[in-house]
Structure 1
Amino acid sequence: MRERLTIAFVALTVVVLLVAGLVRAFTLRDLIEERESASLERTAQLIAVSVGSAERDGDPVTTAFLEPMAAERTSVTVERAGLPPVTAMGAGYDVAQEAADTVGRETMGQTMVTVRQSGTVIQDILGRNVGALAALLLMLLLFAGAVGFMLAGYLSRPFVALAESAEALGRGRFDLELPKSSIPEAAAIATSLLASSVRLEDSIKRDRAFFHHASHVLRTPLTGMRLELEELSMRTELSDDVRRTASRCVGEVQRLDGVVDDLLEFARGRSLVAGAEISLAALGSRIAQHWRDRLPENIEVRAYVDGGGDARLTPGPVEQLLDHVLADVTATAAGPVSLRFAGQPEHVRIRIEGGRPRSGTKPQERAGADSAKAMVEALGGRLSGEVLSEAGVEILLPRR
């Protein structure tokens, strides 16, 4: 996203600079033409004064007289009443291209002086100015690219963080680290993600509460009914038909109890977030790398998969749970930390040993344990032990 925003900024800058450069080039040509025209008119005025002085002194006005006044790539023409025009040309003046000349005229009495300047003079001046203008535009373009790169980073940063939070939510994590941004769109997306996270977490908690409740309210009456029917089928004072019917009912109750078990087992075995499952081996490697990045370099982190590495489970809840444990380890541990993962048919076992405690550690500093225990219970698992104890922490989680 940052690269695309930078390209957009640079492209917009190029368009603006090109339009501004074209407008400036046309304006510059008009300014140069006006300046050169005014200069030629002043030159014509000076030549007219010189011609008037020569006539009063009785000196002839000839081509030789005008040649010193004709600059490079210009021509001077003096026209007087009753006399043929006199013309002098400077070096480099081309009569064949006089249609593009810049002209300056001055009339004094019966004398009109015309000064023509070749169009190549304006082209040369314009070329030098356009070159300087192009260099300036290139510098502005480079500056705009640098500014655009920084602005693109500023604008894309909250959206990159939102994408990471959305990916974490897709893995089943609900403790999203949402960016605080003044960009309305980013703030709206963050609000939506937070609301989705709360709703999903609440839905999962309600589902688990429903499973426990359903198991209790269905199995208890079925068990009572089965016991009553079994007792009824064994009563000798009843007829054979009644006892056979009671026996059949016992079988039907047992079959219904099996159906309830299958339904509850299917509900427990459903993936927490469909399509987000990864293997236990991959999850263990990811968590170990995360712990290595978060813990000080002097604390070694070892990770082991003791079995069932191909077991698949939703990574988000495990990552979120172990982040609470990591908070305690970061605050208290001073020795090596080991993480052991083992996949079992219905559960995943995780054992964490935090090594020796850091000197001066207080019990109240280990606040992550309560949060971890509450989360384990919400997920239907069990947590026992303490990070800094010899046995460490053992966590049992259902494979959801």
Structure 2
Amino acid sequence: MRDRLVAAFVSLTAVVLTLFVGVRAYTTAELVEAQETTSLARTAEAAATLLTHLETERETVTPAVLADLARPGEHLRYVPADGDSVTSAAEPASSAAEQLTVSRPVAGGGTVTLSRDPAVVDERVSDVLLPLVVLGIALVLLAGAAGVLAAARLSRPFRELAAAATMVGRGRFDVEVPHYDVPEAEAIGSALRRSARDLDALVRREREFAVSASHELRTPVTALRLEIEDVASWPQTPPDVAEELSRALAELDRLSATITSLLGGARGLRLGDAVEINLVPLVEDAVRPYRATSRRRPIDLDAPPVVAVRLPHEPIAQILDALVGNAVRHGAGTVTVSVAGRGEYAEVRVADEGLRPSGTATVRQPVPGRDGETVATAVRVAEALGGRLRLTEDRCTTFSLVLPTANGRST
């Protein structure tokens, strides 16, 4: 925006100055030419008067006499009534049509013609126009500087609004949005403040719903489990019925675990739960249990001390566990986990020495020979966080998880 404002400001100034200088140059050239013509006529009249005096005194008119009457860049020709013409110097290189010429009669029937080289006139026009050109260039430069300052001032509200919108997108609904004198910026700020309030209320209602749902779902499941356990433990219950009840208990446990997972995942993905965290300890936590249980599969970790992201904790841990577990269980050779901060985003790469599945360019669908459903779920979680999870084009199987950093934007 700033570049366009500066370009528009400078372009408008340049166009106005070009028109002004063009018109001014045209009028100045005509004015200088008129002044030169007047000056030339006066000089020619003075020369005619002097030549009349010389003719009266019967003195000879020589080229030297005419040269004394002419100024630099001027050519004087005297044609007497009876005799050969006399000139002040050699004929000028320019044609007669290009020269500024004035003729005056001399007593006795002769004429004197005074010509001025057009280069002299052009030089004087240039001398007059040079200050205008310099002034125009200075004004264009001044317009550029003024354009930079004006663009910075005009774009500042929108830069601040963009930063506030980014914070709201990361779950900071308490962000302070300033008020502005610019009507358009104030309208955007008002809409952003309303959106932040609405999102804050929505997140609060969602939290209350999660707590209520957790209670409402777990309480009957727990009561039902107790009832089934009680019935299964009765002496009157036949063994085959008790066995079926035990299987039902297992299904209830699975249902309870699913409820816990769904509610926990919903809590983890809430924007309001996003906090600034160091990604490296999360990666170390994801690697540690697999190092302890999979001694035949070495795991190398390459990470700097700190890579800051502003995201919920639980879903990141879920993605990392899925990637490392997938590499350990289904990969080959050494598993290499690397973490890098790349400006506005952070990247976690999980690679093993197994060949990349052929014909698979994306992990949105289950990857053959891998924990396909788990990885596909991790893809959706990563996208919900504003990141991206993909299978790279490397020869060996390599997953790349890209997440926005604490100071960056979503990818």
TM-score (norm 1): 0.56
Identity of aligned residues (%): 36
SS at match of 2:271: coil
| CA shift for structure 1 position 44 | 3.2
Deviations 1:12-38 (A, max 9, x none): 545654564455444433322222112
| Structure 2 letter corresponding to 1:37 | T
Q: How does 1:360-371 map to 2 (within 5 A)?
A: none
**Structure 2 residue 103 is the aligned partner of structure 1 residue 105:** yes
> Could you tell me which amino acid in structure 2 is paired with residue 32 of structure 1?
V
Cα distance in 2 for partners of 1:281, 1:151 equals 43
Secondary structure of the equivalent of 2:72? coil
Deviation at 1:238, TM superposition (A): 5.9
Shift of residue 212 of structure 1? Answer: 0.9
* DSSP 3-state at the match of 1:96: coil
Give the structure 1 partner of residue 124 of structure 2: 125
Distance 1:159 1:256, change over 3 A: same
* CA deviation string 1:41-97 (max 9, x = no partner): 333345455666777xx44585357555433332333556x53464442x7x75333
How far off its partner does 1:218 sit? 0.9
- Give distance in 2, aligned partners of 1:129 and 1:4: 35
CA–CA distance in structure 2, aligned partners of residues 88 and 75 of structure 1? 7
Alpha-carbon contact 1:94-1:118 (below 8 Å) kept: no
- Measure how far apart 1:127 and its partner are: 3.5
Q: Which moved more, 1:40-49 or 1:258-267?
A: 40-49
1:61–1:212 distance in 2 versus 1, CA, 3 Å: farther
- State the 1:102 CA deviation: 1.0
Aligned-pair CA distance for 1:233: 3.5
- Deviation digits for residues 261-306 of structure 1, max 9, x if unmatched? 2222222233638998532899xxxxxxxxxxxxxxxxxxxxxxxx
Q: How has the CA–CA distance of structure 1 residues 19 and 101 changed in structure 2, closer, same or farther, with 3 Å as cutoff?
A: same
Q: Does 2:178 correspond to 1:190?
A: no
Partner of 2:30: 30
- Asked if the contact 1:271/1:313 (under 8 Å) is kept, the reply is no
Listed one character per residue, the Cα deviations across residues 211-233 of structure 1 (whole Å, up to 9, x for unaligned) are 11211221122223223333434
Q: Secondary structure at the match of 1:115?
A: strand
Counterparts of 1:377-396 in structure 2, within 5 Å, are none
Distance 2:279 2:67 in 1: 99
Aligned to 2:179, what secondary structure does the other structure show? coil
Q: CA deviation at 1:137?
A: 2.8
Partner of 2:227: 228
- Partner of residue 92, structure 2: 95
Show the counterpart of 1:360. Answer: none
Amino acid across the alignment from 1:213: S
Question: In structure 1, how many angstroms separate the alpha carbons of the residues matched to 2:240 and 2:280?
Answer: 59
C-alpha displacement of 1:183: 4.2
Residue 314 (structure 1) aligns with: 311
Which sits farther off after the overlay, 69-78 or 46-55?
Answer: 46-55
Distance 1:23 1:179, change over 3 A: farther
* Counterpart Cα distance in 1 of 2:274 and 2:112: 92
8 Å CA contact 2:44–2:114 kept in 1: the answer is yes
Any residues of structure 2 matched to 1:270-289 within 5 Å, and which?
270=269, 272=271, 278-279=277-278
Q: Kindly provide the amino acid, as one letter, of the partner of residue 231 in structure 2.
A: L
CA shift, 1:192, in A, is 4.7
Aligned to 2:255: 256
**SS of equivalent to 1:265:** helix
Structure 2 unaligned spans of 5+: 282-305, 313-411
CA distance in 1, matches of 2:112, 2:276: 95
Structure 2 distance, partners of 1:250, 1:233, is 10
Q: Give unmatched runs, 5+ long, in structure 1.
A: 283-308, 316-400
C-alpha change, 1:3 and 1:239, in structure 2 (3 Å) is closer
1:287-298 correspondence runs (5 A): none
Q: Within 1, Cα distance between the matches of 2:52 and 2:307?
A: 110
In 2, Cα distance between the equivalents of 1:20 and 1:278?
61
User: Structure 1 pair 85/271, CA: closer, same or farther in 2 (3 Å)?
Assistant: farther
Tell me what 1:72 maps to: 72
Partner in structure 1 of residue 44 of structure 2: 44
Query: Is the Cα contact below 8 Å between 2:158 and 2:185 reproduced in 1?
Result: yes
Report if the CA contact (8 A) 2:203-2:270 is conserved.
Answer: no
| Cα pair 1:174 1:201 within 8 Å, conserved | yes
Cα pair distance change 1:42/1:268, threshold 3 Å = same
- Tell me how far 1:118 sits from its aligned partner: 1.8
Equivalent residue letter for 1:115? L
TM superposition shift of 1:119? 2.0
**Which SS does the other structure have where 1:172 is aligned?**
coil
| Alignment partners' CA distance in 2, 1:253 and 1:24 | 93
Q: What are the within-5 Å matches in structure 2 for residues 67-216 of structure 1?
A: 69-79=69-79, 83-84=82-83, 86-89=85-88, 94-99=91-96, 100-106=98-104, 112-183=111-182, 185-216=184-215
Give the secondary-structure state (helix, strand or coil) at the position aligned to 2:177.
Answer: coil
Q: Structure 1's 20 and 196: CA in aligned 2 closer, same or farther, altered over 3 A?
A: same
**How many residues in Structure 1 have an aligned counterpart in Structure 2?**
285
CA displacement, residues 117-154 of structure 1 (integer Å, 9 cap, x when unaligned): 12232133133234333432343234323322321221
